[in-house]
Amino acid sequence: MSTTTLPSTYTVYSHLLRADLTTQWRNRRASLLVVLVPTIILLSWKGLVPKFGGAFVLSNCITVGLTAIGLMGYSNTVARDRDKGIFQRLRVAPASNWTIMASRLTVQLLMIVITTLVLFLVGYKFDGITITAGGYVGGLLIAIIGGAVYLSLGQVIVGLIKNPETVNVTTRLVYFAFIMIGMFGELGVLGKEVGEAVKWSPYGTVKHIVSAALTPSTWNEHSWMALLVTLGYTFVFAFLGIKWFRWNTR
Amino acid sequence: MNDPIANSNHTSLVLQVEGLNVYYGAFHAVRGVSFNVRPGEIFGLLGPNGAGKTSTLSAVEGLLKPQSGTIRVAGYSTREQPLYARASMGVQLQATSFQPELTISEIIKLYGGIYGVPLSKEKIDAILSNIKLQDAANKRYGQLSGGQQQRVSLLIATIHEPKLLLMDEPTTGLDPQSRRQLWERIEAMREKGHGILLTTHSMEEAESVCDRIAIIDHGTIIAIDTPQALIDTNRGNPEVIRASRKGKITLEDVFIGLTGTEIRS
């Protein structure tokens, strides 16, 4: 019997990525909303810039954007495609599971970069937030690391819940809870205990490391600890999310 | 009952399944199933609902891991060389869905890329024209009729000229014209030497197009042979005679005689 030739991993990945990027582009209204919410918060918090500093305001808004990408963008598309059998169709072709997921995550990575850059630009143009070049680069890199927490949290949700409507409702609820408790807790509105809990929550640690990266001179021991906790959250969520994840809903 | 030539060393077989066992928790869904598919053969896997057809097919497709047994597609083990095995087969799933945001030509390009078949725009147009869907290139999958969707699905499954084609109830929900057209395409593939494994609930279709048939029930193959041989062998079976309603024994009578009249959930 004649031998079968396999396409290279790059060929498979590039075709998957092209399809996933097209899908993301055709869903640009949903993507726009992901960017719009933190942008509106950034514009409305212009008055807080002199009091709390540009890095504080910008890092909060970037964290809100990262939460939306991981929880609503990623998990909802994965839940939908799983429910519709799109993954099953891909998995009976010679595309490995990790290639399918790597392509999806690349698109979300791109969304993280776009959202962060838009917020940098809006912060500079409309809120007058100026950051050093090193701060912008560091902020962008840390935003990518912080984004991984929410992508892995989204993975936990699609690992635990099979129904796409329930995933949608749950991610919105978690998103809402994160930004409300996170932002108000950070500001001290919800009391000292909540403020302390928020500080070490996925919201608080990501917000802290993004803020510290935007102003590298403020990066201290607490920032290293927050980075470590952030990586810890990512590892645990990713481990559980992958362990619980099923490729079909049956 | 096992396929008599399943255990012999046939290197030219497009599919070899030996001693397949699939469990769902404590439930033993597939029990030591063995059969094979030769090149240029249409092999039908028939059975009542829940008999183990889809589980067997899913194991061959690599969608579920069997607890024991070996599966070889075109000589490649699905356990040891899963990507090679998958590249050697084309699959038409029972409920196929493609990304709803992509157009038909984008879907074809995507799967062409995954199977390592480079496709230019002209080539895609020619392929679509061949299946009478030249106007569908820029349409979405969801905008097509059931018959058109089935044609696209079959096109994707065969885009890389696989040695083995798996089809899970391919004619379900199709009108007679679409069904006839689909069978013509399947038979044309058989002529070209592709091996085809399909499941169907239509005994008439199975009797007329399948070269060999395996009847599976409660996870076990209870009969395997050509349709005519199955009828001839079971002609005297009292259960089959009882199931016969037209005075002439058909494959459906054999099927009901062997698997019972009880409706399965």
Question: Is the Cβ of B25 closer than 8 Å to some Cβ of chain A?
Answer: no
Mind telling me how many Å the CA of B90 is from chain A's nearest CA?
Answer: 8
Residue A86 is nearest to which of B76, B84, B97, comparing CB atoms?
B97
Tens-level pLDDT at each residue, chain B (265 residues): 555 544 444 558 999 999 999 999 999 999 999 999 999 999 999 999 889 999 999 999 999 999 999 999 999 999 999 999 999 999 998 776 899 999 999 999 999 999 999 999 999 999 999 888 999 999 999 999 888 998 899 999 999 999 999 998 888 878 888 888 888 889 999 999 999 999 988 888 899 899 999 999 999 999 999 999 999 999 888 888 888 876 788 898 999 988 887 776 6
Residue B14 and residue B39 in contact, taking contact as beta carbons nearer than 8 Å? yes
ipTM: 0.88
The reply to whether residue B110 touches residue A18, judged by beta carbons under 8 angstroms, is: yes
Question: Is the Cβ of B114 closer than 8 Å to some Cβ of chain A?
Answer: yes
Mind telling me how many Å the CA of A109 is from chain B's nearest CA?
Answer: 20
Cβ count near A26 (within 10 Å): 16
Residue B169 is classified by DSSP as S
- Tokens describing residue A34: 């992901």
B-chain CB neighbours of A246 within 8 Å are: none
Question: Is the Cβ of A217 closer than 8 Å to some Cβ of chain B?
Answer: no
- Can you state the percent helix, strand and coil of chain A, rounding each to 5? 85, 0, 15
The reply to whether residue A15 touches residue B74, judged by beta carbons under 8 angstroms, is: no
Number of H helices, E strands in chain B: 10, 10
Residue A27 is nearest to which of B87, B88, B101, comparing CB atoms?
B101
What distances in angstroms separate CA A45 from CA A32, A34, A51, A146, B171, one per listed residue? 20, 18, 11, 22, 60
Question: Is the Cβ of B84 closer than 8 Å to some Cβ of chain A?
Answer: yes
Residue A89 is nearest to which of B74, B93, B116, comparing CB atoms?
B93
**Residue indicated by tokens 């929410």:** A150
The radius of gyration computed from the CA coordinates of chain B, to the nearest angstrom, equals 19
Residue B55 and residue B85 in contact, taking contact as beta carbons nearer than 8 Å? no
